[in-house]
Amino acid sequence: MKISTLGFACIFSLCLLSCTQEKPSDALEDPFYDQQLQSMVDKAVGYLGKIAIDSTAIPRSLQKDGSLYGTGSRDWTSGFYPGQLWQLYEYSQKEELMQAVAQWTAFIEKEKYDTHTHDLGFKVFCSFGQGYRLTQNEAYKEVILQTAATLIKRYHEKVGCIRSWDFNREVWQFPVIIDNMMNLEMLFAATRMSGDSTYYNIAYQHALTTLKNHIREDHSSYHVIDYDTLSGEIRLRQTHQGFSDASSWARGQAWNLYGFSMAYRETGDERFLEHAKGLAQFFYTHPRLPEDLIPYWDFDAPHIPNEPRDASAAAIATCGLLMLCDWVPEEKKQYLSWADKSLAVLSSPTYQSTHAPFLLKHSVGSIPDSSEVDVPIVYADYYYIEALMKRNAMAKLAQK
């Protein structure tokens, strides 16, 4: 079905730099964002010669011996490294970054046909989506549209969601994870690109179903909801990568905040905004959030303060806060204060990585799986750069 207007979806554009600001009294000095981005550009350019451009070793994390943990394009993290290079190219216009990122991005194209994952937004929209935004390359657009068409094959009308995982079929019938909110952004964009409202409608319904079933009264979320495919009813509520089913896994809450802030931007549905506001309060005023605002891997982890921190959760949540800034004027100063403090800490020596090609250290993949604990992880870098880019644009608008 074709549509001529998209209502609020057009009002709230895809632009990643949409917020404006009034500078709070405790904000970082405006040059900080420029200085930090330039530092990240210099670091990224310096790293280019230290890692081979290799389709089988797309940067993801570090091995226990400190060597690069790289993956093929099928891995859910494969789009983040080219995505961060696109953002740093946008800031710097350095030709070395353009040449490298075009090659890394090309490795991801075959994922446009992968029907076995919900993570196509992470893989393709973080890479080709960033590339298309900056270059308007029609070939990139076609990759995005094919990927969106592939992703919606996982949508189930009775459930009202896109299926997340295919493993553990002996346990789950139709699992949906909070992370899946992030993959909706590509579907909203596909409707704008194509005029076909199917993508928008599926993304909107997935967000509504997630809001209804994943979210607790305090605005935190479960990680996994498993549905009965015949009735559409909930079978299980779990937190697969957190401390317990009832706990608040930090990265899950960050996906939650970013995902619903983005869903409000795309739809204008006030229910998404009200939830995102409540979740921001939950996250940043939680009694077990450290003073420096970098959360432990789970807000309910049993050995706090002797638990690993998760820089990736801090970076993702900061992006969500910055999306909220224009829509909640009465909280803007507080949101900016939290965002500035998070970015200052992530930009400090405590969190800056010196292992090529990573920018941040001290992230957590999955403690229950003993996987990627207290190491650099590529998606932390991606969202850290996104947050710096957003905040830098806001600071420059405030100076006009």
pLDDT at 31: 87
Average pLDDT over residues 333-340: 98
Q: Given the residues 119, 226, 300, 310, select the one marked as catalytic.
A: 119
Mean pLDDT is lowest, of 13-22, 40-49, 196-205, 343-352, for 13-22
**Between residues 21 and 226, the one the model is more confident about:** 226
Domain-by-domain residue ranges, the chain? 8-399
State pLDDT tens for residues 357-391: 999 999 999 999 999 999 999 999 999 999 999 99
Residue 301: CA atoms inside 13 Å, Cβ hemisphere, count? 25
Lowest mean pLDDT among 2-11, 66-75, 389-398: 2-11
pLDDT over 50 (residue 16): no
What is the pLDDT averaged over residues 18-44?
A: 70
Give me the catalytic one of 75, 179, 300, 381: 179
Share of the chain above pLDDT 70, in %: 92
Q: Does residue 20 register a pLDDT over 50?
A: no
The whole-number pLDDT of residue 4 equals 38
What are the distances in angstroms from CA 214 to CA 168, 207, 236?
Answer: 20, 10, 11
Q: Band of the pLDDT at 30, cuts 50, 70, 90? A: low
Residue 26 has pLDDT above 80, yes or no: no
Picking from 109, 26, 97, 45, the residue whose alpha carbon sits closest to that of residue 73 is: 109
| pLDDT surpasses 80 at 21 | no
Per-residue pLDDT at 288: 98
Query: Could you report the per-residue pLDDT of 232-254, keeping only the tens digit for each?
Result: 999 999 999 999 999 999 999 99
Q: Report, as an integer, the average pLDDT of 70-86.
A: 98
User: Encoding tokens for residue 117?
Assistant: 């994952």
| Neighbour count for residue 286 (Cβ, 10 Å) | 18
- Token digits of residue 134: 């900056």
Backbone angles phi, psi at 245, to 5 degrees: -60, -35
d(CA 305, CA 277): 27
Give residue-wise pLDDT tens across range 150-161: 999 999 999 999
Give catalytic status of residue 119 as yes or no: yes
pLDDT grade, residue 398 (50/70/90)?
confident
Q: What's the confidence (pLDDT) of residue 193?
A: 98
Name the CATH topology of 8-399: Glycosyltransferase (1.50.10)
Q: What is the mean pLDDT of the chain?
A: 93
The DSSP secondary-structure symbol of 129 reads I
Indicate if the pLDDT at residue 12 is higher than 80: no
At 28 the pLDDT is: 56
Is 114 an active-site residue? no
SS3 of 59, please?
Answer: strand
Share of the chain above pLDDT 90, in %: 90
- DSSP structural state of residue 355: S
